[in-house]
Structure 1
């Protein structure tokens, strides 16, 4: 399955989600909509992810399949490494698979092209009766997975595999035991734990394709930032956290797009925005954050001393055909008559809102002293008296003086946030130009 096909899988998820009526279910303190074909559940250790999966499994009964790969891998490898007769034993069994699709899944997730893959289901019962029950896979006889592979001329079996490689084979091997079951909800507890980051993302989309093909539902817990980021992008993420009274709280990313910020490391910088000065820098920061917090996390804003350096960059800084980092120039609004549109092979020139520079915009907030005072956490009277002394002062000096009195970075942030919040319609047109640029 190529990357273009992987994107198709996510589009199929969205279509199915829109077509399904909500199926609200309550599990302990948590309410979830199980109509969606995929839910990715994240949260810090102890947030209740495993408890949630067990609660859902208990309520679903035979319609739920909970797989704890950590436990299953440990138990299977313990048995496999305790005996030396599996090569002889496999001769009594047919090769179970994988078929072409499952082989492609395994290779893509592991990142390895095998010359040979052979899966077996051996009738070997673990000595621990409770463990043996976990290996029945819906049948009467416990079945132990046994794998043979060859890579770059080296032949080895599941006995010699590392945990990451073995866990991927095991997971897809188990799913083949249930390939004829309809209406199943597959619940996976951190199936990516042994995988590198690139493998976790590939695993999720391939599990989702299997579930869509078989009309299953998928609920998976994870700590993988790549898997969480993919689920956020497709609006399939739920965060669990513990409330003040010890209760578990679930928040869907559709209700709060920033819900996973505390779980994700900052992504690599993908966008650079050039602005004229520090006031423009703060206004641009706030505007980008309000437009899309995920975009803001992958962006940096660079400021200099005026627009001159930006004009030179606009003339001479080329835009490659397939850039890894996207740039744009955010000129002050009062430069609209001076700055020309960028040439086709150059980065775009945009303008901050209105036809004024940011300091002029910030000074308009003088008209709402109570709100400005509240944001700065100072008494109305104190702020009003201070601003009275600044009547007639140039906008740039007005902002500088206010910053000197109450802290420059704090003041700039407050002025930018307050202006953006009180000028939504004006800001909307800026968002449209930003959308086209990025």
Structure 2
């Protein structure tokens, strides 16, 4: 039986960003076009989202990629009215083997690799197919000549989940080779508590979602390496349904290993996609550029897109706050504005807040961040809780960085801090023997820096040291596990 519980959907999201994919599109490089010119884009495994202002070229980009990879089994024909004449070089991996494809979107491309490219673009697709059905004079005679297939119990359950509608039954007729633009089209007949209607007279939102169900089912039954391209899936849909559509996408990514490229303006669509998988499309000096949102998240503000809040992090003191923020800055899954932050005041207060706040809320977590020196001491107190994480090592953040400074070369420290070797050496001498709570306060005074600036730079240096990569990765895994 299909499991549509929210907890299971959350598991699918986690799996989607951890699993191996048989098809990975890694790099796109455009050439010769007036719009895309020499634009290049590095993609992540699984799902990648493209965001940008209206008119920047997202639709042209989506259609160029689809035209390049479209095959006989794709769900619609090529677009004939591309605005740009770019050529595209794709670097991809299929079942562990690397390939490079040189493609021309406005010509037929012979692709030896088994790639099934599908396009779901409801804003243009759904009105077009509904008009086709309504304008054909002999349409009823066509339907009578074709066989309909009723959905199974599990299929009906999934379709009802996506549409937020209780159907008594749904039947699908797959119409093949009848329309020039579509090799195949699904025609839906539904029964809702005795009221029957079909694709010709249902709302655009409902028809869009049923088509989405059909294309997901098509992927599930295919044995090919699938790339699903989605353009503005939020069209016609309220926020609740956008969330469900995304959850079904996560299920498809996690269970089928489908690669997905999606363009959207919707925060509801983007809220569960890591910033590292979001790419901002811009026009700068008449050239198309792509910026990864993980390292250029300020550009999201221009679009009015803010990071959805994953939760509230509460911590012991300011040093823990600065160390946690330095870690989150390099996280593959989160950015700084993914969270709200609260200083509890002490180790005991963090524990009290852990007990005070609810352990789970829908799409929002209350997460205790303990210093590393609490691991053994709090083991018994934390039994029964899952929403907590320890900062790396078995030391407090200040003690950890002090220990690191003792073995790090002065020239490297001085270069990173932006001070002379002599100044850094003198600052270390002044702070020798101080309590770890006072150490960086005095060092900052000696170096004429703010405490926040100095400690953040030193945390960044520790995090970037390859000897610490294992500890950093374990922190990310622990943080990901703790987020509900």
State the TM-score bracket (shorter-chain normalisation). 0.5 to 0.7
Give the direction of change, closer, same or farther, for the CA distance of 1:261–1:224 in structure 2 (3 Å limit).
Answer: farther
In the alignment, which residue of structure 2 is the partner of 1:415? 458
User: Which digits, 9 at most, give the CA deviation of each residue in 1:77-113, with x for residues without a partner?
Assistant: 4566789x99987985656345326544432221212
Distance 1:10 1:406 in 2: 40
Classify the secondary structure of the residue corresponding to 1:164. helix
Tell me the CA shift for residue 352 of structure 1.
5.5
Do the aligned residues in 1 keep the contact of 2:167 with 2:191 (CA within 8 Å)? yes
Retained in 1: the 8 A contact 2:431–2:443?
no
- 8 A contact 1:119–1:146 mirrored in 2: yes
Instruction: Please list every run of 5 or more consecutive structure 1 residues that lacks an aligned counterpart in the other structure.
Output: 126-131
**Superimposed CA distance per residue, residues 342-395 of structure 1 (whole angstroms, 9 cap, x where no aligned partner):** 252357684653546617835975986665555555677777788887777665
In the alignment, which of 127, 152, 168 is matched to residue 115 of structure 1?
A: 168
Deviation at 1:165, TM superposition (A): 1.0
Matched residues in 2 for 1:398 and 1:174: separation? 60
CA contact (8 A) 1:353 1:427 kept: no
Contact in 1 for aligned 2:39/2:289 (Cα 8 Å):
yes
Distance between the aligned counterparts of 1:371 and 1:165, measured in 2? 60
Q: Contact (CA 8 Å) 1:185, 1:217: kept in 2 or not?
A: yes
Partner of residue 138, structure 1: 183
Normalising by structure 2, report the TM-score: 0.60
Do the aligned partners of residues 373 and 202 (structure 1) sit closer, same or farther apart at CA in structure 2, a change above 3 Å counting?
A: same
Deviation per residue, 1:43-67 (Å, 9 max, x gap) = 3135544333333344446434444
Backbone CA RMSD of aligned residues: 5.6
**Which of these residues, 190, 204, 225, is aligned with residue 232 of structure 2?**
190
Separation in 2, partners of 1:108, 1:260 = 33
| Partner SS state of residue 51, structure 1 | helix
Comparing 292-301 with 173-182, greater Cα deviation is found at 173-182
Deviation at 1:174, TM superposition (A): 7.6
Q: Which residue of 1 aligns with 2:371?
A: 331
1:281 to 292, 315, 321: 321
1:64-143 correspondence to structure 2 within 5 Å: 64-66=74-76, 67=119, 68-78=121-131, 92=144, 96-100=148-152, 103-119=156-172, 133-134=180-181, 137-138=182-183
| Cα distance in 2 for residues equivalent to 1:435 and 1:421 | 17
Match of 2:209 among 161, 168, 172: 168
After superposition, the Cα gap between the structure-2 partners of 1:88 and 1:285, relative to the gap in structure 1 and judged at 3 Å, is: closer
Relative distance call for 1:172 and 1:356 in structure 2 (3 A) is: closer
Q: CA deviation at 1:169?
A: 2.8
Change (3 A) 1:358 1:55: same
Aligned to 1:128: none
2:3 equivalent in structure 1: 2
Q: Residues of 1 paired with 2:475 and 2:128: CA distance?
A: 57
In structure 2, C-alpha distance between the alignment counterparts of 1:2 and 1:396, rounded to whole Å = 50
**Which has the larger Rg?**
1
- TM superposition score normalised by structure 1: 0.64
Match in the other structure for 1:199? 244
C-alpha spacing 1:91/1:429, structure 2 compared with 1 (3 Å):
closer
Q: Distance in 1 between matches of 2:235 and 2:311?
A: 27
1:344 is aligned to 2:380: no
- SS in structure 2 of the partner of residue 117 of structure 1: strand
Say yes or no: does 1:17 pair with 2:21. Answer: yes
Task: Give 1:284 deviation, angstroms.
Answer: 2.9
The residue matched to 1:239 in structure 2 has which SS? Answer: strand
Structure 1 or 2: more helix by fraction: 1
Number of the residue aligned with 1:361: 401
Counterpart CA distance in 1 for 2:17 and 2:333 is: 24
Mean Cα displacement is larger for which, 173-182 or 305-314? 173-182
Aligned pairs (5 A) from 1:363-378: 365=405, 374-375=415-416, 377=418
Corresponding position: 1:268 with 2:309: yes
Q: 1:206 to 1:178 in 2, by over 3 A?
A: closer
SS of match in other structure, 2:279: strand
Map of 2:61 onto structure 1: 52
Q: Which runs of 5+ in 2 are unaligned?
A: 32-37, 77-118
- Give me the whole-angstrom Cα distance separating, in 2, the residues matched to 1:434 and 1:9: 16
CA shift in 2, pair 1:356/1:224, >3 Å: closer
Shift in CA distance, 99/332, structure 1 to aligned 2, threshold 3 Å: closer
